Amino acid sequence: MIIAGPPSAGKTALTKQILKRFQGELRIAYLKIDVVKAFEDIELRKEFKIMTRKIYSGDLCPDHAAVMVLGDAVDWAESHGADLFIVESAGLCLRCAPYLNQGLGIVVLSSISGIHAPEKMGAMVSLADVAVVTKIDLVSQAEREVFIQKIAEVHPRVILMETNALQGTSLHRLYDLILGSPEIEKHNLVLKGSPPLGTCTICVGKKEVGWKHHFGVVKKLDGPLAEYLFRGE
Amino acid sequence: MVREITILPGWDKSGNREDFTDINLKAGETIAIVGPTGSGKTALITDIELLAQGDTATKRRVLLNGQLPGDEVRYNPAYKPIAMITQNTKCFTDLTTEEFLQIHARARRIADQKIIQDTISLANKFTGEKIKKDTKVSVLSGGQTRSLLIADAILIGAAPVILLDEIENAGIFKQEVVELIQDTGKIIIFVTHDPAIALLTKKRLIMGNGGVRKVIYQNELELRAAQKLLELDRQVGVIREEIRAGHVITKVNLA
């Protein structure tokens, strides 16, 4: 299961509720992928006595890092006999989504994150299986419904749920989905979304601003980019 | 259509099972939830709003028409039979009042655009400061936000069950609100510290330590007391408006 969402959306609070629910029933392994700093692995290991690990992507794009390490990570979880493997990803640049063709992909969105967030988050929302809206105790029901409508307009088939993740309200449906999630076939794990282009002078570290300094995929302020490339919206 | 809500007991803050078999709330009924701060009033209406199935802090379960509510009813806002007005007097959404209501109408599958203006007009009956359709909801005052959300719950939410969390302390005309939503055939639940509102309802749920302690039914004498309180409220209201307008209180105001 992959949990994605912007920082402070409530990913870890949601993870804790899942751990609380399945503690003692399932063997759970947890991997946190972050860029600079993460504490969740230590916190969750202490509180729930589960197997945890973290990986820092550093100069690598965190989604790139995830693709690189997930194969090993699945082996690691399997070697410890995990029934449930939770990967919490740092969704940052919003170009990509970390979800795989197998297992559940969950996006966590805070109900106070701004009404346009679901649209701006692109594939992280539109490729998720489940969208969990958190912090619902902080806003009115009407506002929650407006926010949820926005998510549904981005991704009409997503399974929506609202929760106060600190208390873990109304998560029964998520627990059922987790229990019903089929076994992973580890030699056939593929990203759901398409990765970004990555062969250019910026990717290799050239800092000068302006297209004239670069080669590879260049873009002018007014000029067109190749037709087949995604240009936002 | 919701004819009845049934609340099944959960546990209070000390882990004791609530002492009732079930509480039934019927269409056309008004109910008050009373008790000191921290006694579990908001948790109870939140349970009702979420149609809790043992998955909230209290572990209560809520039935609709005597049956378990389906997933669609619990999770799809378009089918949700309950509208709740919380104590929140702040909207974070960066939208104008009109846009906000339009999206909410879409969420509730309402195509008729007339409902937007109707909702704003109704809201303006509840508040002295008029709401304009192009005002951002994030800058509405507390009273305006409340008024808008109540009007929204009545017209766009159009839910057979309305939950109102302490409407009295929000700078709105509560008398107008109470009059408008009573006798609508809906189940109306007030969380309140206001004695007049509490006495006007058919049933009072008394909360303590996170659980329902008692259910009291309205009697004739209480109803008379409520009428008296409303008259007092009206007098207080007149004087309040005089003071707010910068006038000096005279004998006429006291008559």
Check B75 against A171: CB less than 8 A apart. no
Q: What is the pLDDT of residue B183?
A: 66
pLDDT confidence band for B170 (50 / 70 / 90): low
Question: What residue segments make up the domains of chain A, in order of their start?
Answer: 2-188, 197-233
Contacts of A173 in chain B (CB under 8 A): 71, 74-75
pLDDT confidence band for B171 (50 / 70 / 90): low
Pairing of strands A84-89, A2-4: parallel
Which residues partner with B106 through β-bridges?
Answer: none
Give percent of chain A with pLDDT exceeding 70.
93
Check A170 against B76: CB less than 8 A apart. no
How many angstroms away from the CA of A142 is the closest CA of chain B?
A: 7
The arithmetic mean of pLDDT across residues B214-234, rounded, is 90
Contacts of B100 in chain A (CB under 8 A): 142-143, 146
Residue B111, pLDDT > 80, answer yes
Q: Are residues B224 and B117 in the same domain?
A: no
Closest CA to A148 of A15, A158, A138, B160: A158
The arithmetic mean of pLDDT across residues A8-27, rounded, is 94
What is the per-residue pLDDT across A98-116, written as a single tens digit (0 to 9) for each? 999 999 999 999 999 888 9
Q: Are residues B70 and B164 in the same domain?
A: yes
Q: How many CB atoms lie within 10 A of CB B49?
A: 21
Q: Where are the alpha helices (DSSP H) in A9-61?
A: 11-22, 40-48
Among all chains, which residue has been given the structure tokens 């899942």?
Answer: A18
Residue B81, pLDDT > 80, answer yes
Range of the structural domain that residue B51 is part of: 1-81+159-218
Which residue would you say has higher pLDDT here, B254 or B20?
B20
Four-point Cα dihedral B11, B13, B16, B17, nearest 10:
-20
Region of poorest pLDDT, from A155-159, A216-220, B75-79, B142-146: A216-220
Residue B54: which CATH number? 3.40.50.300
Check A142 against B57: CB less than 8 A apart. no
Contacts of A145 in chain B (CB under 8 A): 77, 80, 104, 107-108
Residue in A closest to B105 by C-alpha: A146
Q: Are residues B120 and B5 in the same domain?
A: no
Q: Are residues B31 and B153 in the same domain?
A: no
Region of poorest pLDDT, from A197-206, B61-70, B123-132: A197-206
pLDDT confidence band for A159 (50 / 70 / 90): very high
d(CA A155, CA B7): 34
d(CA B157, CA A153): 19
Contacts of B83 in chain A (CB under 8 A): 141-142
Residue A140, pLDDT > 90, answer no
Assess contact for B199 and B144: CB atoms under 8 A. no
What is the per-residue pLDDT across A40-68, written as a single tens digit (0 to 9) for each? 999 999 999 999 999 998 888 888 888 88
Q: What is the pLDDT of residue B168?
A: 73
DSSP-assigned letters across all residues of B30-47: EEEEE-STTSSHHHHHHH
Tell which CATH classification among 3.30.450.90, 3.30.70.580, 3.90.550.10, 3.40.50.300 matches the domain A2-188. 3.40.50.300
Which residue would you say has higher pLDDT here, B2 or A158?
A158
Name the phi and psi angles at B227, rounded to 5: -60, -40
Q: Interface of chain B against chain A, CB under 8 Å?
A: 46, 49-50, 52-57, 71, 74-77, 80, 83-86, 88, 91-95, 100, 103-104, 106-108, 145, 149, 152-153, 156-157
Assess contact for A86 and A29: CB atoms under 8 A. yes
Assess contact for A3 and A86: CB atoms under 8 A. yes
Q: Are residues B23 and B73 in the same domain?
A: yes
Choosing among B88, B93, B97, B162, which should be mutated to test the A contact, i.e. which has the most A CBs within 10 A? B93
The arithmetic mean of pLDDT across residues A212-224, rounded, is 72
What is the per-residue pLDDT across B88-105, written as a single tens digit (0 to 9) for each? 777 888 899 999 999 999
Q: What's the structural domain count of chain B?
A: 3
Q: Are residues B58 and B2 in the same domain?
A: yes
Check A146 against B100: CB less than 8 A apart. yes
CA B209 to chain centroid, in Å, comes to 22
Kindly state the DSSP code that residue A228 receives in the 8-state scheme: T
d(CA B42, CA A127): 35
Residue A91, pLDDT > 70, answer no
